[in-house]
């Protein structure tokens, strides 16, 4: 990998990356069983309050870990994920277990086979430690509306970890897993990753297979990893897309790298501390030679209307039968929003899809002469549980709208986007820097993110 | 269908179905739909561009 694994005094440290843990296993300092047991002990210790998991697969995880240790001892090394405990947002089918989508609508469901990405994780030797809690059917940004109760932020249990992949983020932050696989429709990997000080990757559209995954919007959904470092995200992404895990990288320099910073719509609704941390990160990159250019998108104001007409119409289509047959099993607010989607006219859905092409062309144009685009990931810190509104400066805004504001564009356009930590606020709550890459070029984006991560100060990069 | 007509029909239907709680969500969606229809990239059957269903200026706050 591009960075040497750190020798930790504690090979069971909850802050170890996959790279570190894999190296520790191969040095004989720990085992997959020890890592898995430590994760399960952490779940036992804290999950009654954090509520990151819906299903803990303790027995099977120990069996998988023991098998991984035997294989590694026999010289059958499947790569850096071999023996590493991973959690899965409870939208991914795992054979023989329920896929609840955090909803009573799916009571009684048991998956008959693994989702393709689960098969790939198993082939890579990953240990599946459990199914993570989420905002019901992924239709939300706070993880508060779940049939299994809200997830609480491991750093402040009075706050949401973000969502909809909130259980995924909380499980990694709290040391219950080394990475998690989430889904992202409007920001649901990147939002909780930013709120929890993690790396979160939404790959380019089509990179990762979606079979065996409960959908929200087939146009906008993407599965991807939440991890502790860009190197870890690179490893997991390669496994998810079915490619050989990359371990060698061309040395690159920030000097002369052209970077576009999105302004106006993307900087007009921002917590002041988040804004300052973002500007500090940009200044750090400029100090290392990056060429920072300001970018404006002419139709940024159309992002939210385009998004809502696509996500609600497609979500309503998927849920139409169960909204008629078992509506009372949904959480009330999720049900209400899906019911609202049923009233969207076909002509307006078509308009939204046409607007999608307009936005795609504008982002492509912004990236035509630049390596990447930068913007904050989340305009606010992790919100307090129960808050429907948030104050930004002198204005009160709906929490959900604010949390989606900076991420949903890249679900609409399909560009790959990744968040890395860029510091903490005065209350020690994390902020995220979002990096956006060219269409279809997720691996290039990861390489750029690795470069950015290496040039942010230790306090910035988590 | 104008947005005004759509909103009337949608809220009537929601109330008929015992879902009066949808009213504020439908009102927010109506504002979002108005913004979508007024976007300058919409074309129409005349062969020109620009919104064919102008309904005047509406507050642009988007419930999502």
The C-alpha atoms of residue A242 and residue A314 are separated, in whole angstroms, by: 28
Q: What is the arithmetic mean of pLDDT over A373-381?
A: 98
**A163-197 confidence digits (pLDDT tens):** 999 999 999 999 999 999 999 999 999 999 999 99
Q: Are A331 and A136 in contact (CB under 8 A)?
A: yes
B-chain residue closest to A186, CA distance: B64
Cα angle for residues A95, A315, A237 (degrees, 5° grid): 50
Q: Are A424 and A197 in contact (CB under 8 A)?
A: yes
The C-alpha atoms of residue A253 and residue A43 are separated, in whole angstroms, by: 41
pLDDT for position A39 = 97
Per-residue pLDDT band at B51 (split at 50, 70, 90): low
* Given A103, A146, A164, A165, the catalytic residue: A164
How is residue A299 written in tokens?
């139709």
**Helix (H, G, I), strand (E, B), or coil: what is residue B43?**
strand
Contacts (Cβ under 8 Å, ≥6 apart) of A219: A310, A314, A353, A356
Cα angle for residues A370, A372, A377 (degrees, 5° grid): 145
- Model confidence at A315: pLDDT above 60: yes
Q: How many helices (H) and strands (E) does chain A have?
A: 14, 13
Q: How many residues does chain B have?
A: 64
**A416-440 confidence digits (pLDDT tens):** 999 999 999 999 999 999 999 999 9
* Given A2, A32, A168, A188, the catalytic residue: A188
The C-alpha atoms of residue A259 and residue A294 are separated, in whole angstroms, by: 9
Of B18 and A251, the structure prediction assigns the larger pLDDT to B18
Task: Assess B21–A contact: CB distance below 8 Å, yes or no.
Answer: yes
Among A148, A121, A120, CA closest to A132: A148
- Model confidence at B45: pLDDT above 90: no
pLDDT for position A361 = 98
pLDDT for position B47 = 80
Q: Report ipTM (2 d.p.).
A: 0.91
**Neighbouring C-alpha atoms within 13 Å toward the C-beta of A267:** 16
pLDDT for position A451 = 95
**A348-359 confidence digits (pLDDT tens):** 999 999 999 999
For residue B42, give how far its alpha carbon lies from the nearest alpha carbon of chain A (Å): 7
| Percentage above 90 pLDDT, chain A | 93
Per-residue pLDDT band at A14 (split at 50, 70, 90): low
Per-residue pLDDT band at A225 (split at 50, 70, 90): very high
Contacts (Cβ under 8 Å, ≥6 apart) of A155: A173, A196, A197, A382, A428, A429, A430
Tokens 């190296």 locate to A23
pLDDT for position A306 = 98
**Pair type for strands A430-436 and A372-376:** antiparallel
**Neighbouring C-alpha atoms within 13 Å toward the C-beta of A318:** 18
The C-alpha atoms of residue A74 and residue A320 are separated, in whole angstroms, by: 52
**A57-113 confidence digits (pLDDT tens):** 999 999 999 999 999 999 999 999 999 999 999 999 999 999 999 999 999 999 999
Q: Are B39 and A299 in contact (CB under 8 A)?
A: yes
- Model confidence at A114: pLDDT above 70: yes
**A252-280 confidence digits (pLDDT tens):** 899 999 999 999 999 999 999 999 999 99
Contacts (Cβ under 8 Å, ≥6 apart) of A344: A309, A312, A313, A316, B29, B33
How is residue A168 written in tokens?
């995924």
pLDDT for position B61 = 46
Cα angle for residues A331, A336, A341 (degrees, 5° grid): 130
DSSP A383: P
Task: Assess A62–B contact: CB distance below 8 Å, yes or no.
Answer: no
Per-residue pLDDT band at B60 (split at 50, 70, 90): very low
Q: Is A89 a catalytic residue?
A: yes
pLDDT for position A250 = 77
pLDDT for position A459 = 63
How is residue A302 written in tokens?
């159309």
Burial of A288 (0-12, 13-18, 19+ CB in 10 A): middle
pLDDT for position A462 = 55
Among A344, A349, A360, CA closest to A409: A360
A-chain residue closest to B20, CA distance: A336
Answering whether pTM is above 0.90, one says: yes
pLDDT for position A197 = 97
Q: Is A202 a catalytic residue?
A: no
- Output the average pLDDT for chain A: 95
The C-alpha atoms of residue A78 and residue A444 are separated, in whole angstroms, by: 24
Residues 23-52 of B with CB under 8 A from A: 25-26, 29, 32-33, 35-37, 39, 41-42
**Helix (H, G, I), strand (E, B), or coil: what is residue A104?**
helix
- Model confidence at A232: pLDDT above 90: yes
- Model confidence at A379: pLDDT above 50: yes
Backbone φ and ψ of A11, nearest 5°: -65, -10
């Amino acid at each position: 990998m591009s960075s040497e694994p750190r020798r930790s005094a504690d090979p069971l440290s909850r802050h170890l990356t996959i790279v570190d843990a894999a190296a520790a296993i191969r040095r004989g300092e720990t085992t997959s069983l020890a890592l898995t047991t430590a994760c399960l002990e952490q779940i036992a210790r804290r999950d009654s309050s954090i509520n990151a998991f819906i299903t803990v697969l303790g027995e099977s995880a120990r069996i998988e870990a023991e098998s991984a240790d035997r294989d590694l001892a026999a010289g059958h090394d499947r790569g850096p994920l071999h023996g590493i405990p991973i959690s899965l947002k409870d939208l991914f089918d795992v054979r023989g277990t329920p896929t609840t989508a955090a909803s009573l609508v799916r009571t009684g469901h048991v998956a008959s086979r693994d989702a393709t990405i689960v098969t790939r994780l198993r082939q890579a030797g990953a240990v599946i430690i459990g199914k993570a809690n989420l905002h019901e059917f992924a239709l939300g940004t706070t993880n508060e509306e779940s049939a299994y109760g809200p997830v609480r932020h491991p750093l402040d249990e009075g706050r949401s970890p973000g969502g909809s992949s909130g259980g995924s983020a909380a499980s990694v932050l709290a040391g219950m897993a080394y990475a998690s696989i989430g889904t992202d429709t409007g920001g649901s990997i990147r939002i909780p990753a930013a709120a929890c000080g993690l790396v979160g990757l939404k790959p380019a559209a089509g990179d990762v297979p979606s079979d065996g995954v409960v959908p929200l919007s087939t146009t906008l959904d993407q599965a991807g990893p939440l991890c502790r470092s860009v190197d870890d995200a690179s490893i997991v992404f390669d496994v998810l897309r079915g490619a050989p895990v990359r371990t060698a990288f061309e040395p690159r320099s920030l000097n002369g790298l052209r970077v576009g910073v999105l302004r106006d719509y993307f900087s007009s609704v921002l917590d002041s501390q988040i804004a300052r941390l973002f500007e500090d990160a940009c200044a750090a990159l400029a100090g290392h030679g990056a060429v920072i250019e300001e970018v404006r998108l002419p139709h940024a104001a159309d992002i939210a209307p385009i998004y809502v007409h696509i996500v609600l119409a497609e979500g309503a289509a998927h849920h139409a039968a169960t909204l008629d047959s078992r509506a009372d099993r949904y959480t009330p607010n999720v049900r209400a929003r899906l019911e609202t989607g049923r009233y969207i006219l076909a002509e307006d859905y078509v308009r939204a899809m046409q607007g999608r092409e307009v936005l795609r062309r504008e982002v492509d144009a912004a990236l035509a002469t630049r390596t990447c685009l930068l913007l904050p990931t989340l305009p606010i810190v992790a919100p307090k549980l129960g808050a429907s509104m948030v104050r930004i400066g002198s204005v009160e805004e709906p929490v959900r709208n604010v949390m989606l504001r900076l991420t949903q564009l890249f679900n609409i356009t399909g560009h790959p986007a990744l968040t890395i930590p860029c510091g903490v606020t005065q209350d020690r709550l994390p902020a995220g820097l979002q990096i956006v890459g060219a269409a279809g070029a997720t691996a290039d984006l990861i390489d750029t993110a690795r470069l950015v991560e290496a040039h942010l100060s230790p306090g910035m990069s988590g | 269908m104008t947005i005004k007509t759509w909103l009337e029909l949608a809220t009537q239907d929601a109330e008929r179905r015992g879902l009066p709680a949808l009213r504020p969500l439908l009102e927010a969606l109506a504002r979002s739909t108005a913004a979508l229809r007024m976007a300058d990239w919409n074309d129409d059957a005349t062969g020109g561009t620009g919104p064919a269903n102008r309904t005047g200026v509406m507050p642009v706050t988007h419930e999502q």
